[in-house]
Amino acid sequence: MLELDIVIQRGDFVLPIQAQLNSTVTGIFGASGCGKSSLLSAIAGLLRPQQGQIILDGQTLFDSRKKINLAPQQRHIGLMFQDGQLFPHLSVKDNLLYGYQRLSRSEQHFHLAEICQLLEISHLFSRLPRQLSGGEKQRVALGRAVLYSPRLLLLDEPLSSLDETRKAQILPFLARVRDEVKIPMLYVSHALSEIDYLTKDIIYLNSQTKD
């Protein structure tokens, strides 16, 4: 379970949020600039909330009163952005193994072959990112994130750079990860149709302006 009771503030932008999230997939929906990406960054440890606490499966990740703020690498949370952010000089296989090889055997909950079969990317192993289509890049980025065996997977507008045809191709793969891998996910999008495809549990964000 992810427990949030935080206030994020950046200049005149203020986002208070209180939530207890216990679904396999929770959608986060809101207009551009409402704080969706800031929320994910705060959970991942890339942005410090103004106040409050973040608790994941009973472990405190952030607590402003107790002065607890775990570093991103201590949180073991996966974060996937809209452009995938693959390493351009590495092959698909080496991109997939980048974080995976740094895990101990006990931390490796998935096998390369099973995730690649799930996402249908085994035939892409020798290619470089520049040789991939947009949809292939996102499937590889998703595979890399899953192989890292995160406690929580944060997806920040993962399909926003794709056209409608490619979005329709990728959504079933996300549903497979939901149904077969069962890593809890927070899925951020300004497209409600994408979120509805994956879950009915949705948080609607609405930032405020400081007086």
Q: What is the pTM of this model?
A: 0.86
The domain segmentation of the chain, as residue ranges, is 2-209
Give the three-class secondary structure for 69. strand
Q: What is the pLDDT of residues 55-89, one digit of tens each?
A: 999 999 999 999 999 999 899 999 888 776 899 99
Look at residue 209 and tell me whether its pLDDT is greater than 70. Answer: no
Q: What is the pLDDT of residues 140-177, one digit of tens each?
A: 998 998 898 899 999 998 888 788 888 888 899 899 88
Q: Tell how far CA 179 is from the center of its chain.
A: 16
Give the C-alpha separation, 79 to 150, whole Å: 9
Q: What pLDDT does residue 109 have?
A: 84
Give the C-alpha separation, 52 to 7, whole Å: 6
Return the closest-CA partner of residue 77 out of 205, 186, 204. 186
Residue predicted with more confidence, 197 or 33: 197
> What would the two tokens of residue 17 be?
């949020």
Give the three-class secondary structure for 133. coil
CATH of 2-209, one of 3.20.20.140, 3.40.50.1000, 3.40.50.300, 3.20.20.370: 3.40.50.300
Give the C-alpha separation, 24 to 150, whole Å: 13
CA dihedral sign of residues 163, 168, 174, 178: positive
Q: What DSSP string describes 141-156?
A: HHHHHHHT--SEEEEE
